[in-house]
Amino acid sequence: MTAYEVNFDGLVGPTHNFGGLSFGNVASGAHGQQTSNPREAARQGLRKMKRLHDLGFRQAVLPPHERPDMGLLRQLGFHGNEAQILAQVAREAPHLLTAASSASPMWTANAATVSPSHDTQDGRVHFTPANLNAKLHRAREHQTTARVLRGIFADESRFAHHPALPGVSDFGDEGAANHTRLCATYDQPGVGFFVYGRDAADSRAPLPARFPARQTRQTCEAIARQHGLVPERVVLAQQNPDAVDAGVFHNDVIAVGNQNVLFYHEQAFLETSRTLQSLSEAMQGLGSELLPVCVPEAAVSLQDAVQSYLFNSQLLSRPEGGMLLLVPSECRSNPRVSAYLDELVSGPSPISDVLSMDLRESMKNGGGPACLRLRVVLTAAECEALSARVFLDDDLYRTLEDWIDRHYRDRLNPADLADPQLLRACREALDELSGILGLGAVYPFQQQVESAS
CA distance 430 to 424: 10
For residue 162, indicate whether it is catalytic. Answer: no
| Nearest distance from C-beta of residue 250 to ligand SUG, angstroms | 4
| Nearest distance from C-beta of residue 216 to ligand SUG, angstroms | 16
| Nearest distance from C-beta of residue 104 to ligand SUG, angstroms | 4
| Nearest distance from C-beta of residue 387 to ligand SUG, angstroms | 26
Dihedral angle at the C-alpha atoms of 293, 299, 302, 307, nearest 10 degrees?
A: -100
Helix axes 394-407, 38-54, angle to 10 degrees: 180
Q: b or e along 154-179 (b: 16 or more beta carbons within 10 Å of the residue's beta carbon)?
A: eeeebbbbbebbeeeeebbbbbbbbb
Cβ proximity to ligand SUG, 130 vs 293, nearer residue: 130
Question: What are the DSSP calls for 315-350, one per residue?
Answer: EEE-TTSSEEEEEETHHHHSHHHHHHHHHHHHTTSS
| Nearest distance from C-beta of residue 26 to ligand SUG, angstroms | 10
| Nearest distance from C-beta of residue 43 to ligand SUG, angstroms | 19
Cβ proximity to ligand SUG, 20 vs 192, nearer residue: 20
Catalytic annotation, pick one of 174, 266, 361, 382: 174
Phi-psi region for residue 50, left (φ > 0), alpha (ψ -120 to 50) or beta?
alpha
- Contact indicator for 262, 182 with CB cutoff of 8 Å: yes
| Nearest distance from C-beta of residue 252 to ligand SUG, angstroms | 5
Give how far the C-alpha of residue 151 lies from the chain's centroid of Cα atoms, to the nearest Å: 19
Cβ proximity to ligand SUG, 116 vs 172, nearer residue: 172
Cβ proximity to ligand SUG, 3 vs 372, nearer residue: 372
Catalytic annotation, pick one of 371, 382, 407, 426: 371
CA distance 219 to 233: 17
Q: Which residues bind ligand SUG (CB under 6 A)?
A: 18-22, 25, 28, 102, 104, 107, 109-110, 138, 177, 249-250, 252-253, 365-367, 371
Q: HSE, CB side, 13 Å, CA atoms: give it for residue 128.
A: 26
Phi-psi region for residue 383, left (φ > 0), alpha (ψ -120 to 50) or beta?
alpha
Contacts of 421 (CB under 8 A, 6+ apart): none
CA distance 138 to 175: 12
**DSSP class of 67:** S
Cβ proximity to ligand SUG, 43 vs 250, nearer residue: 250
Cβ proximity to ligand SUG, 8 vs 397, nearer residue: 8
Cβ proximity to ligand SUG, 28 vs 259, nearer residue: 28
Cβ proximity to ligand SUG, 282 vs 359, nearer residue: 359
Q: Are strands 3-10 and 190-196 parallel, antiparallel or unpaired?
A: unpaired
In a 10 Å sphere around its CB, with 0-12 CB exposed, 13-18 middle and 19+ buried, how is residue 45 labelled? buried
Paired with 10 in beta bridges are 62
| Nearest distance from C-beta of residue 132 to ligand SUG, angstroms | 7
Q: Are strands 351-357 and 323-328 parallel, antiparallel or unpaired?
A: parallel
Catalytic annotation, pick one of 250, 266, 330, 382: 250
CA distance 14 to 38: 6
CA distance 110 to 150: 17
In a 10 Å sphere around its CB, with 0-12 CB exposed, 13-18 middle and 19+ buried, how is residue 121 labelled? exposed
For residue 250, indicate whether it is catalytic. Answer: yes
CA distance 226 to 112: 13
Residues labelled as active-site residues = 174, 250, 371
